[in-house]
A and B are shown apart, each in its own frame.
Chain A
C-alpha cells in the first residue's frame, strides 16, 4: 500500500466532495470537530445535528476527511446554526475552509434554509475572517429569529469596540 498523497504535492483538489455523515462521536471526521460535537449532541437531538465532511474521492477510501463541519438546524423555522468547522492540520491554508463553507451553504440553501448563524467566541479569528469572506455579517439576533430554537447565547454588551463573543449571520 502506498502512503496517502501529500496534499502539498498535488496541484489541486479536483476530487473533493462534500458528504453528509451521521452526526456521531465515532464518525469519520468527528475528531476534527472536537468537543463541539459532543456538546451539540448534548444540547439537541441528533436528528437536528448535521455533520458534513469534505472527502477526497481520489484518495484512499479509509483516509480521514480533510475537513468537517457541524450544523444544527432549527426545530421548525428555516434557520441553521453553524456550530463548528475545522480543517485537518496538513490541509490548512489551502482554501478548504472556504470550499467546505461554500458547499455547505449551497446544501442548506437547497434545503430551504433561509438564514445561518454562527456564534464566534474569543480567539476565533480565523473563523471570523472566513465568515466575513463568505458575506456573513455580525448581527444582533432578534428574538423572533430564535423563537423556534433552543439556542442560548451570550451577547457581550460590555465590549462594543471589539466584542469577544458575537453572532454572525447570513441570509441565504
Chain B
C-alpha cells in the first residue's frame, strides 16, 4: 500500500478510471472527491453508512450479513438485502461513473461473503493523517524539528470537523472518532514540541494552554507548558503552572503529579541546564493505545479495528455479552452436522498404530497427535480446526479425544449453541462442571459464572473498582482452576462450534491462550470459516489468538475423488465421480447421500445411475432453501430460472429468459454471489452455481408446471440467442423444449429432439442419439395431425439407433411397435420397419438358438406380395429373412435366400445395398462348410466404395477368424490392430466388445493369462451395455480356458458352468462344464452331465469350438465317441482353433487329434500330429502352446519306447 505523506491529496498517478483517483475523507463528514477535485454526491444517509462501513474495513471484505445486521437489523433479510443491493448499485455508479454496466466493478467489488472497497491506504485521509503524525514524530525524535511543521501542516489542514461527523449516533463511527481525535491531539503536541525546539517559546505556551483546555489531564502538556514558560524566562509562571496541575489532579482525581512532572519542577527550581535541550520525554507516547500496531502506511482498518470492535470494549461485564451476540441475521442456517463418518457399513476401520483411521485426514491427525503429546509434557495451547459445515470437524475432535485418552489426558467436551438460548460463558461452564471440587475455588468460580448467588454475600465489585478489573479477576480465577487441574493431570478441552460462542467466552479463550504454552492444557476448538456467520467479535478473537504462542489453525477441506474412493473402500471410479459431483466432496453431504442410497439399495449395489437419479436429500435442500429465502424475492426468482438453465448459467440466456436488462440482472444476482450461492465465472459476466446441490434444490422447489413453463422460456431464449445457428444448440433446445412439451411446446420438442438425434448419430454419439429419439417420442403430442406416422417414423429411427448401440432387445421392442403401426400405413412402412434389422451387423441379432416366427411371417408375407421390379426391396427382405432363419431348421433355406439377396444387390450396382446383403449372407451362412465363401464375401465388402467405419470394422472382423484358422497370425494381428484403432473412433459397444474379445483369444495364444483375464473383464463390461446374447456365457468360457492355461481353476466356476449349461441358450458351455468337472477330478459328474445334456453339436458358427471341446473330453473319458470326433477333426487338424470372432483361441487342432488318437491306441499317428502341432506353434512363435505340444510329444515318444 502506498501512503502519501507529503501533499495531502490522494495520489492521482493511476487516474485511469479504476477509482485510484478517488479520495475518501472521514476527517469530518464522510466525503468522496474524484480525481478532478469534485466532491461526489454519495446519496442518502443509509447509502453513506454502507460506504462508511466498507471504507472503515477497506480493503477487507465486509460480509453481507454484517452490513444488514448493522443497518437494517429490524427488517427481514430478504427486503434488507434488496435495499442494500440497490445502494451498492447506486454507489458503484457514483464511484465509477464511466464503467459500462457489463464490466466488473473495480472499486466496490462483490466477493463472497460480501463486499469490499478495493482502494489503497493512501486514498483515505485518516490514513494519510496517521502516517504524517508518525513521520512528524520520527522527525522530532531525530532532532529535525524544522521538518515537523512542514509535515504536519497539510495533515492537520485535512480536518474538517469531527471524524465521520454525519454519523454521530452510529457506534462504528464513535470509537474511530475518539481514536482519531486522540491522534490529532498528539500531533498538535508534537508540533508544539517542535516549536519549542525552534525557540518559539511564547507560541508554545499559548498552544499548550489552548490544548489543555481540551484535555486538562494530559500531564505531558503541563510539562510542555512549564518548559515553554521557563525557556521564555517566565520561571515563576512555570512553577505556578505546576501548582495548578497539582491542585487539579489532587482535587479531581486524588492523584499526585507523576514523578516525571515532579522532576521537571525540581529541574526548574534548580535551573537545570538540561532544560535547554530536548526534554527526555516527548509527548508522543500518548499515541492512542488502541492503535499500537499502526505503522505508517498500514490501512485504516487496523487502526480503527473495524466497526464490530467498537462495540466490544464498551462491554461492562460478561453478563452483557449475549445481547451483542444474538443479532438477527447471524443465525446459521444449518443445524449441527452429525458425525457422518460412522455411517453403518461404512465406518472407518481403525488401523493398527496410533492414529485413528479417517479418510483424508492423516496430516490433521498427525499434527493433533503431536500437540496432544506436547500438552502431555506441559506445552499446551489452542488448536483451531476450521472447515465448512459437514466437513468432519467433530470427527477430528473425536479422534483427538481418543488419542488424548490413550495418552492419559483428561478429556472434557463442551459445545457452543446457536442463537441466544445459552448463557454467557456456556462453553466454559460446561468445562468447569466436568470437574469435582477438590477444595479450591471451583464452586466459587462456577457460581460467579452462572450468577448463582454472590460469593459469600459480598458485592460483586468488592474485588475491584471497575468492570475491567473484575473481569480480569474472574478470568484469572478460572485460569487458576484450570491450571491446577491440568498440572495434576494433563487436560484436553474440546470446544465445538466456537463461531457460535458468546463474546465473553471467546475473550476468556484469548486470555487463557496467552499462558497455555507453559501449561499442560490443550484447547481444541472447531469452527466454521463461513464469514457470513462470523461476527466481528469472533474475527477479532481469532486474530488475537493467532498471535499467541502455542496457537495454530488447521483447515479441513472437502474430499477429493481419491479420498471418496478410499472412504468407500475402493469402487467403480464412475460412481465415485458421480458422488463427488453430487456432494462436492463434503463428507456430510456424502454421508447423507449414501444414507439415502443405502435405504434404497444394498450399498454394494449402488450404481452411478442411482446416484444421478436421486432426488436431493431433504436436509441439504432445506439448508439451501433457507439460504435462498434470505435473498430479495426477485433475486430468488432469477435463481430459480437459472436453476432451470443448469449449473452453468450464461447471463445472456438468463437475461433473455427472464426479460430483464443486464444491469438489473447483475444487481439482482449480486447478493447470491456475495452469499456464495452463485459464483461468477472468469470474466464476471456468466455465473455458475457454487454447488450442484444448490441448483438442484432450487429446481426441486419448483412445481412441475412451473418447471415446464420455465423450460419453455429458456428454450425460447436459447432459440433466439442462436440467431439461426441452431446446430450448435440442438441438444440444449431439445432438452428445454422436451421438458416443456406438456405446456404447448410439443411440436418444437419433437422436432428439436429428432434433429439432435440425427446430429448425434452423424457425430457417432449413438447413445445420445437413442436418448434423443426416445425423447422425441415422449414429447410427441398424440393429438397432433399425423401423430401416428410421426410416431412410426421415430420408432424406426429409434430401433435403428438402439440397434447400433447394441441394444438388440430394445430395438426389437421399438420395431415391433413400428411394424404394428405400419400395418395402417402400408407395405412400404412395414418393409422399412421389418428390414431395419437386416442392416450391417457383426453378430446375429437373435439370442443363441432363437427364432422369431412373427418376424419371419411378416417378411415372408411381404416377399410374397412384393410386385416385380422391386429388386432392391427384395434383396433387403431376403437378406433379413436369411438371417432370421439361421437358428432354425430352415437354416439352409435361409442361406439360399441370403445368397439370392447378394445376387440381386450386385445387379442393382448399389454398393451400400451390396455390403448389406453380403453381410447378411456372412451371418446367415455361418457354418463350417461355408468358411471360404464367407471369407470371400467379407473380402468383397472391403472392396466396396464409401464404406462407413462400422461396416469396415464389421467386415474385417468377419475375415479375421479365417486368418486365425489358417495360421496367418501376422495378418490376424495387423487386422486386430486396425480394428482396435477404428473402434476407438466409432463408439459402438457391440464392436468394441468383439474387438476386445478377439484380443482375449490372442492373449491366450501367447499364454499371457493375466492379459486374457483383464481383457475378458473389459469385454464383458462393454458387452453388458448391449443387450445381445452372451456376456455371462462368454465370460465363463474365457475365464475357464484362461485358468486352464494357468493350470488352476477358480473356486465356484464349475458350479456356475453347470448351472448355466442347464439353460438351452447356453449350450456352448456344456462341454466346458464337463471339462471343468474333469479338471476338478469329478469324473462321475462329467458322465452325469453328458447323460443329462447329450453331446449334439450344431453346424453353426461355434461348430469347430464345440467339436474341439468334446474332443478334449473324449480324449480323457472316452465319451463322446472318440472315433466320431476324429472323423470330424482330422480333416481340419491343420487349422488353429478359434471361437466366434476369436474370444477363445487355442492353437493347432493337431493337438486334440493327437490326444484322441492316443485314446484310441494309435500312438504313432498321435505322435505325428503332436509333432505337427509343436512345429506349427514353434513356427508361429507361440511359446506356451509349443511347450504344451512338446510335452505331449515327449509323452507319446516315451509311450512308444515302452
Contacting residues, chain A, for B707 (C-beta < 8 A) = 58
Whole-angstrom distance between the Cβ of A56 and the nearest chain B Cβ: 8
B147 CB → nearest A CB, Å? 46
In the assembly, what is the distance between CA of A16 and CA of B86, in Å? 19
Known interface pairs A19-B659, A114-B44; A61-B716 also in contact (CB < 8 Å): yes
Interface centre among B667, B706, B744 (most CB of A within 10 A): B706
The answer, yes or no, to whether A165 is at the interface (CB within 8 Å) is no
Among candidates A5, A10, A60, A103, residue contacting B634 with C-beta atoms closer than 8 Å: A103
Task: Pick from B85, B93, B710: contact of A57, CB below 8 A.
Answer: B710
Tell which of B484-492, B522-530, B636-644, B1084-1092 binds the partner.
B636-644
Contact between B89 and A59, CB atoms less than 8 A apart = no
Interface string of B727-751 (1 = CB under 8 A from A): 0000000000000001110000000
B633 contacts A58, C-beta separation under 8 Å:
no
- Give min CB distance, B672 to chain A, whole Å: 14
Say yes or no: is A1 at the interface (Cβ < 8 Å to chain B): yes
Interface segment among B697-705, B1111-1119, B1146-1154: the answer is: B697-705
Instruction: Please tell me the number of chain A residues within 8 Å of chain B, measured between CB atoms.
Output: 29
Q: Let me know if A19 and B660 touch, CB within 8 A.
A: yes
B82 within 8 A of A: yes
**Residue B1134 at the A interface, CB < 8 A?**
no
A46 to B87, CA, bound (A): 27
A58 adjacent to B706 (CB under 8 Å) = yes
Residues of B in contact, count (CB < 8 Å): 40
Q: Does A90 contact B (CB under 8 A)?
A: no
Whether A107 pairs with B664 at a CB distance below 8 angstroms is: yes
Q: Closest chain A residue to B714 by CB distance? A: A57
Nearest Cβ in chain B — how far from A30, in angstroms?
16
A44-62 near B? 1/0 per residue, CB < 8 Å: 0000000000010111110
B612 to chain A, nearest CB (A): 25
Tell me if B632 counts as interface (CB < 8 A to partner A): yes
Query: Given contacts A14-B636, A17-B634, is CB(A58)–CB(B705) below 8 Å?
Result: yes
Judging by beta carbons under 8 Å apart, are A58 and B90 in contact? no
Please determine whether A15 and B710 come into contact, CB atoms closer than 8 angstroms.
yes
Task: Give 24 A-B contacts (CB < 8 Å), ordered by A residue.
Answer: A1-B743, A1-B744, A14-B636, A14-B637, A15-B640, A16-B633, A18-B634, A20-B661, A20-B664, A57-B637, A57-B659, A58-B705, A58-B706, A60-B743, A61-B709, A99-B633, A103-B633, A106-B82, A106-B634, A109-B83, A110-B85, A110-B86, A110-B90, A114-B43
Q: Is A171 on the interface with B (CB-CB < 8 A)? A: yes
In whole angstroms, how far apart are the Cα atoms of A111 and B91 in the complex?
10
Chain B interface (Cβ < 8 Å from any Cβ of A): 43-44, 79, 82-83, 85-87, 89-90, 93, 632-634, 636-638, 640-641, 657-661, 664, 667, 701-703, 705-707, 709-710, 712-713, 716, 742-744
Tell me if B640 and A14 are in contact (CB < 8 A).
yes
Q: Which residue of chain B lies nearest to A111 when distances are taken between CB atoms in the complex?
A: B90
Chain B residue at minimal CB-CB distance from A103 = B634
CA distance A107 to B665 in the complex (A): 11
Contacts of B93 in A (CB 8 A): 112
Q: CB within 8 A of B701: which of A5, A14, A103, A106?
A: A14
Name the B residues within 8 Å of A59 (CB-CB).
709
A109-132 at interface with B (beta carbon < 8 Å) = 109-112, 114
What chain B residues lie within 8 Å of A35 (beta carbons)?
none
The answer to whether residues A172 and B744 also contact, given A16-B637, A57-B713, A109-B90 and a CB cut-off of 8 A, is no
Lowest 4 A-B CB distances belong to which pairs? Answer: A58-B706, A110-B86, A109-B86, A110-B89
Q: Does residue A42 face the partner (Cβ distance < 8 Å to B)?
A: no
A106–chain B nearest beta-carbon distance, Å: 5
C-alpha gap A20/B665 in the complex (Å): 12
> B658: which of A10, A17, A112 is its contact (CB, 8 Å)?
A17
Q: A residues near B, CB below 8 A? A: 1-2, 5, 10, 14-20, 55, 57-61, 99, 102-103, 106-107, 109-112, 114, 171-172
In whole angstroms, how far apart are the Cα atoms of A159 and B657 in the complex?
A: 50
B46 to chain A: closest CB distance in Å?
9
Given A10-B703, A20-B660 in contact, is the A106-B641 Cβ separation under 8 Å?
no
Give the shortest distance, in Å, between A101 (CB) and chain B (any CB).
Answer: 11
The distance from the CB of B720 to the nearest CB of chain A, in whole angstroms, is: 12
- Complex formed: what's the CA distance from A87 to B657 in Å? 23
CA distance A18 to B659 in the complex (A): 10
Bound-state CA distance A102–B82 (Å) is 9
Contact B89–A58 (Cβ < 8 Å): no
With both beta carbons as reference points, the residue of chain A lying nearest to B94 in the complex is identified as: A112
Q: Quick check: B658 and A106 within 8 Å, CB to CB?
A: no
Q: Which of A61, A103, A107, A109 contacts B87 (CB 8 A)?
A: A109
> Are B90 and A112 neighbours in the complex by a CB distance under 8 Å?
yes
Chain B residue at minimal CB-CB distance from A10: B703
Q: Is the CB of A106 within 8 A of B85?
A: yes
Bound CA span A14–B43, Å: 32
Chain A residue contacts of B44, Cβ below 8 A: 114, 171-172
A61 contacts across to B, CB distance below 8 A: 709, 712-713, 716
Could you tell me the distance between the alpha carbons of A114 and B46 in the complex, rounded to whole angstroms? 11
Roughly how many angstroms separate A5 CA and B706 CA in the complex, as a whole number?
9
Closest chain-A Cβ to B220's Cβ sits at a distance in Å of: 47
Which of A2, A106, A111 contacts B632, CB < 8 Å? A106
Chain A residue nearest to B701 in the complex (CB): A14
B contact residues around A102 at 8 Å (CB): 79, 82, 633
Inter-chain contact A112/B43, CB cutoff 8 Å: yes
Report Cα–Cα, A5/B89, bound state, in Å: 35
A5 to B707, CA, bound (A): 13
Of A2, A17, A112, A172, which is within 8 A of B637 by CB?
Answer: A17
Q: How far is the CA of A99 from the CA of B636 in the complex (A)?
A: 13
Cβ–Cβ contact A15 & B637, under 8 A:
yes
Residues of A contacting B638 with CB < 8 Å?
A: 17
A1 CA to B783 CA in the complex, in Å?
A: 11
With CB as the reference atom, state the residue of chain B lying closest to A108.
B86
- In the bound complex, residues from chain B placing their C-beta under 8 Å from that of A1 are 743-744
Contact B705 A5 (CB under 8 A): yes
Taking CB atoms, residues of chain A closer than 8 Å to B713 are 57, 61
How far, in angstroms, from A106 to B744 measured CA to CA in the complex?
Answer: 35
Residues on B with C-beta less than 8 A from A20 are: 660-661, 664
Give B32 Cβ to nearest chain A Cβ, in Å. 15
Instruction: Pick the residue among A16, A18, A58, A171 that contacts B702 (CB under 8 A).
Output: A58
Q: Which residues of B contact A17 (CB under 8 A)?
A: 634, 637-638, 658-660
Q: Which residue of A lies closest to B659 (CB)?
A: A19
Q: Please give the distance in Å from B925's CB to the nearest CB on chain A.
A: 56
In the complex, what's the smallest C-beta–C-beta distance from A13 to chain B, in angstroms?
A: 8
With A15-B641, A17-B634, A106-B82 known as contacts, the answer to whether A55 contacts B744 (CB < 8 A) is no
Q: Nearest Cβ in chain B — how far from A2, in angstroms?
A: 7
Q: Which residues in A have their C-beta under 8 angstroms from that of B83?
A: 106, 109
The listed residue (B90, B664, B706, B744) touching A15 by CB distance below 8 A is B706
Please name all residues of chain A whose beta carbon is closer than 8 Å to the beta carbon of B664 when the two chains form the complex.
20, 107, 110
Are A2 and B743 neighbours in the complex by a CB distance under 8 Å? yes
A20 to B701, CA, bound (A): 26
B659 adjacent to A55 (CB under 8 Å): yes
A114 to B742, CA, bound (A): 46
A60 near B43: Cβ-Cβ < 8 Å: no
Enumerate chain A residues within 8 angstroms of B706, measured Cβ to Cβ: 14-15, 58
Q: Provide the bound-state CA to CA distance between A60 and B657, in Å.
A: 12
Kindly provide the distance from the CB of A44 to the nearest chain B CB, expressed in whole angstroms.
22
Shortest distance from the beta carbon of A10 to any chain B beta carbon, whole Å? 7
Of the listed residues A1, A14, A17, A172, the one surrounded by the most CB atoms of chain B closer than 10 A to its CB is A17
Q: How far is the CB of B614 from chain A (nearest CB, A)?
A: 23
Complex alpha-carbon distance, A61 and B634, angstroms: 18
Docked complex Cα distance between A17 and B82 (Å): 13
- Determine the chain A residues whose CB is within 8 A of the CB of B637 once the complex forms: 14-17, 57
- A114 cross-chain contacts in B, Cβ below 8 A: 43-44
Shortest distance in angstroms between B743's beta carbon and chain A's nearest beta carbon?
Answer: 7
CB distance from A18 to the nearest CB of B (A): 6
Residues of A within 8 A of B667 (CB): 110
CA distance A20 to B706 in the complex (A): 22
